[in-house]
Structure 1
Amino acid sequence: MSPSLFVGIDVSHKHNVVCALDDQAQQVKKMASFPNNLPGTEQLEQWIVEKMHIAQAENLIVGTEATSFYDFHVMEHLAQSPLLAHLPPSLFRFNAKMIRDFKKALRAPHVKNDYRDAFAIAMRLRVGDLPAAFRPQLEHLPLQRLTRFRAHTAKSLAREKNYFLSQLFLKFSAYTQIKPFSDPFGATSQAILAEYLSTDELMAMPIEDLLEFIIKKGRNRFPDPQEVVEKLKKVARESYRIRPALAQSVHLVLTLSYKNIRTLTSTIKELDEAIAKELEGFTTTLKTIPGIGPVYAAGILAEIGNIDYFPGHPKLAKYAGLTWTEHQSGDFRAEETRIIKAANAYLRYYLVEAANLVRLHDPTFRAFYQRKHQETLKHKHKRALVLTARKLVRVIFAMEKNGTIYRPRA
């Protein structure tokens, strides 16, 4: 078997600490540290070449921890290095939890420093059973930046809306219970919240004036504005009263929070347009699945990259984190198992969100979701939705692998 050099790189914002081991787990000279910038990475590249000659190695295996973007430029540089092109190097990115657990099996597990981490990464490379190799996907990267930022913004919007509703309970505690408007974030609803500082002000408003206000702000689109007025009066009667000083503070918080919501909503709209435009440069049939539009198709495509990297849909499901742990001993087998966490969180997000839409538009997926929903008494919706996403993975894998469109079952 050809001799190999195992290089572990512990990355950080400022420095990259590197350790090289041979086949016998012996360090090839001592470790080194390089600045995490272009000149430093070029020095690291030359350092690796020198260690290859010293160890007389023919194979180069390099690993890092997937720590934000700190290892991105290093891995991209090594993958395209002309000095290493004759090998070429095998590159791997480890989940940080995997390295942390592996260090517990090494001597002095309580020691934590950059040099120790680089050594642990190199040792983990030598053990084998490695994750999928790192492959630069330059063509998908611009799309991935957009879709990941959209996922981040969508979560921020959901968080801001939840915060708004919690503050709304202080101002009008019965507002979300009685629900005078179907959408508390709609234009007319927000006009009411901005116009009236407290429940007493809303209570004192004459019904005729309030009715005129609702018709004007709603652009005469409410089928029964009188019913809306009655519900608003009921909100005013049944809500808790708060002190005027607190009412002013809560009113300002709600006003500013709603500005954040509008900004985030506008950002998502702008991102959707940019994503749809970027997706035009790719060939995909995912949009033929009912319920999946350009945004979710782009999010899934950007995270999968080249489908040929996955030998089958189980590997793709594992990469997305749609696989469950197993707990079995002797005759015992646990009925409840947890979904794995070491996975691509963005791919799982887009698959689950897409599955939630597909089940609403496709009869086959709707029936599957309903069947899984009825199978258990716990976590009915979440469990059924994740299982539906797992079913969607099989469909997506087959479509992308064969280049076919979606054909629903008769």
Structure 2
Amino acid sequence: MTKRSALQAIPQLLQEPVFVGIDVGKSKHVAGFVSSTLLQRHQRFEGCPALAFENSREGFRILIERMQTLAPLEHCTVLMEKTGHYHRALLQYLQEFDIAVYVMHVQERPKGMMKTDKRDALGLANHLYNQLALGIQLADKTQLVRRTIPATPAAAQLKGLIRHRYELVGEATRRKNKLIAICDELFPEMTKVLKNPNSLTALTLRERFPTPAALATASMGSLLEIRGKAYVLSDAKLAELQHLAARSIGVRDLIRQRGLVLEQTQLIKELRLHQEHIEQLEHEIKLIVEQAREGKILASMGIGPIQVATIMATIGNIENFPNAGSLKSYFGWAPTVAQSGKTLDWTGQTRGGLRTIKQMMFLVVAHVIKQDSQWAQLYERLVQAKYPYDERRGVRVGRLRVFGRVAGQMIETMYALLKLDAEVLSKVPNGQDPPAPTLYDPELHRRHREGHYQPLKSSPHPAVITLLPPISSE
């Protein structure tokens, strides 16, 4: 039987789930198709059919048409690896057809195995078939497949904004470090008067008078004009700054000085541009957070708008996480245990998780424990109970370890509130306004800590069986 006749016979045979694995590339993808019937026909998954298609709308259409020749789209399930951003357009296209899409981490190929795009795609399809159809359990969690549910509109919009802001903050920090280094070489005495050489007043002075000689010979009127109405520097401080500039030990080589001045001028302009863009992004981010239901829920826990936006963008859709433990692991704040016999017994924090949200959660915990909140009381109680007081240093040793406990409980609370809100929204009929979201209640949290726990979900009443009296025979 030819390949064409075999494919023509497939639609009459495949009235069963079809599992599609897609090897993602930059300009071209390869899809492999596996099912029980295809495995019986071809004996091994490497012999099952495959399709190469372009990374374009026309290529995506060809993929959909091939899937429809094998089985109805509602019977098709797709698996892709997380390979940068190349899979996102295809993922969105498939979800528009309500096709179940699963993702997994990029897997390391065993050494000595033949490598082709077709084999990789069919291997993914077979991996999906083993887990979903056969129910094979895997010890390595990195090989688990997870279904991807589209992010909420607010989270989808925040994802790019938060990432761009993170990059701009990094670029601005690098320019600040360079400007500090140039100040240390040109005019190191400046920090005696202006502690921050990158403040608004300091940058204006450095831009107007780039060298100590120019600052020392400047008129007091021009200095007062730069100071403006903010009055950051008094007249005495300005006079002291000129006195230090006249006796500066900064570089005197004119050639080197000229190069530093040019670099400093460009860095100041670049820094101001980055700061302007960061301010615009933060304004837009705050508006989105204030209007989103998830933003209102997370903000009620005492978290700032930028931190709330980062958490929302990272989660995407709470339905992607089956339990609070998976969310903690994704955030990088899940505990890890190493135990073997009597010689190895160790508990610590996982090294996985996303670096950005892991750092952000540390800042969130550092902020909430300084407030009058239940989180601060939990932190103080654990520190006093578990870590000794160092009289020489005047602090308790090991306080930072409690951050993991507080962060874990905060993530569990986030998960419970967001999951409850998602379930409420799923029950709202189309066209009807949803109820207000359930916010974090500090008083309810206090009662929970005192032992009066009440679950957020109302448990159904047990079925009551009423026994009727026996019917008299009389």
Aligning the two structures, in what range does the TM-score lie when normalised by the shorter sequence? 0.7 to 0.9
- Runs of 5+ consecutive residues of structure 2 not aligned to the other structure: 1-14, 132-137, 139-143, 388-394, 421-437, 447-474
TM-score where L is the length of structure 1: 0.77
Kindly state the Cα deviation for residue 185 of structure 1 after the two structures are TM-superposed: 2.1
Q: Deviations over 1:188-235 (max 9, x none)?
A: 211232233334555x448xx569726851536237553565467558
Where relative contact order (Cα < 8 A, 6+ residues apart) is larger, the structure is 1
Please say if residues 324 and 412 of structure 2, whose CA atoms lie closer than 8 Å, have aligned partners that are also in contact.
yes
Equivalent of 1:298, from 302, 309, 317? 309
Equivalent residue number for residue 79 of structure 2 = 63
The structure with more radius of gyration: 2
Evaluate the alpha carbon distance shift between residue 90 and residue 401 of structure 1 in structure 2; reply closer, same or farther with a 3 A threshold.
closer
Query: Mean Cα displacement is larger for which, 313-322 or 112-121?
Result: 112-121
Kindly state the Cα deviation for residue 92 of structure 1 after the two structures are TM-superposed: 1.5
Equivalent residue number for residue 334 of structure 2 = 323
Equivalent residue number for residue 307 of structure 1 = 318
CA distance in 1, matches of 2:247, 2:200: 23
Equivalent residue number for residue 34 of structure 2 = 21
Q: Does 1:180 align with 2:180?
A: no
- Runs of 5+ consecutive residues of structure 1 not aligned to the other structure: none
Amino acid at match of 2:176: K
Please say if residues 10 and 16 of structure 1, whose CA atoms lie closer than 8 Å, have aligned partners that are also in contact.
yes
Kindly state the Cα deviation for residue 398 of structure 1 after the two structures are TM-superposed: 3.5
CA distance in 2, matches of 1:337, 1:172: 47
Amino acid at match of 1:180: V
Equivalent residue number for residue 429 of structure 2 = none
Evaluate the alpha carbon distance shift between residue 349 and residue 149 of structure 1 in structure 2; reply closer, same or farther with a 3 A threshold.
farther
Q: Does 1:192 align with 2:195?
A: no
Equivalent residue number for residue 139 of structure 1 = 153
Evaluate the alpha carbon distance shift between residue 220 and residue 352 of structure 1 in structure 2; reply closer, same or farther with a 3 A threshold.
closer
CA distance in 1, matches of 2:119, 2:281: 42
Q: Deviations over 1:74-129 (max 9, x none)?
A: 12222232xxx5xxx43222233xx1x2x22xx624x5553343244334434535
CA distance in 2, matches of 1:228, 1:112: 70
Evaluate the alpha carbon distance shift between residue 245 and residue 385 of structure 1 in structure 2; reply closer, same or farther with a 3 A threshold.
farther
Equivalent of 2:368, from 334, 338, 358? 358
Kindly state the Cα deviation for residue 12 of structure 1 after the two structures are TM-superposed: 2.1
Kindly state the Cα deviation for residue 291 of structure 1 after the two structures are TM-superposed: 4.5
Please say if residues 187 and 217 of structure 1, whose CA atoms lie closer than 8 Å, have aligned partners that are also in contact.
no
CA distance in 2, matches of 1:365, 1:75: 39
Amino acid at match of 1:71: H
- Partner-residue secondary structure (3-state), 2:146: coil
Equivalent residue number for residue 439 of structure 2 = 404
Please say if residues 9 and 63 of structure 1, whose CA atoms lie closer than 8 Å, have aligned partners that are also in contact.
yes
CA distance in 1, matches of 2:330, 2:195: 39
Equivalent of 1:276, from 270, 281, 286? 286
Q: Does 1:285 align with 2:300?
A: no
CA distance in 1, matches of 2:51, 2:278: 44
Please say if residues 18 and 31 of structure 1, whose CA atoms lie closer than 8 Å, have aligned partners that are also in contact.
yes
Evaluate the alpha carbon distance shift between residue 34 and residue 401 of structure 1 in structure 2; reply closer, same or farther with a 3 A threshold.
closer
CA distance in 1, matches of 2:123, 2:200: 56
Q: Deviations over 1:331-379 (max 9, x none)?
A: 34475856433x4455445434433433444455456667489443xxx
Evaluate the alpha carbon distance shift between residue 247 and residue 123 of structure 1 in structure 2; reply closer, same or farther with a 3 A threshold.
farther
Alignment of 1:1-400 (within 5 A): 4-22=17-35, 26-27=45-46, 29-52=48-71, 60-81=76-97, 89-96=99-106, 99=107, 101=108, 103-104=109-110, 108-109=112-113, 112-128=115-131, 129=138, 130-137=144-151, 139-140=153-154, 141-173=156-188, 175=190, 178-202=191-215, 204-205=216-217, 209=219, 213=223, 216-217=226-227, 219=229, 221-222=231-232, 226-227=236-237, 230=240, 233=243, 239-283=249-293, 284-293=296-305, 295-333=306-344, 339-341=350-352, 343-348=353-358, 350-366=360-376, 371=383, 374-376=396-398, 388-400=406-418
Amino acid at match of 2:164: F
How high is the sequence identity, in percent, across the aligned residues? 20
CA distance in 2, matches of 1:313, 1:251: 54
Amino acid at match of 2:153: E
Evaluate the alpha carbon distance shift between residue 272 and residue 171 of structure 1 in structure 2; reply closer, same or farther with a 3 A threshold.
same
- Partner-residue secondary structure (3-state), 2:229: coil
- Partner-residue secondary structure (3-state), 1:290: coil
Q: Deviations over 1:240-293 (max 9, x none)?
A: 425211211112212211212211111122122222333344223222233523
Kindly state the Cα deviation for residue 37 of structure 1 after the two structures are TM-superposed: 0.8
Amino acid at match of 1:154: V
CA distance in 1, matches of 2:407, 2:180: 29
Equivalent residue number for residue 451 of structure 2 = none
CA distance in 1, matches of 2:159, 2:359: 13
Evaluate the alpha carbon distance shift between residue 67 and residue 214 of structure 1 in structure 2; reply closer, same or farther with a 3 A threshold.
farther
Evaluate the alpha carbon distance shift between residue 357 and residue 77 of structure 1 in structure 2; reply closer, same or farther with a 3 A threshold.
same
Q: Report the RMSD for the aligned CA atoms in angstroms.
A: 3.7
CA distance in 1, matches of 2:415, 2:301: 13
How many residues get paired?
Answer: 382
Kindly state the Cα deviation for residue 39 of structure 1 after the two structures are TM-superposed: 0.9
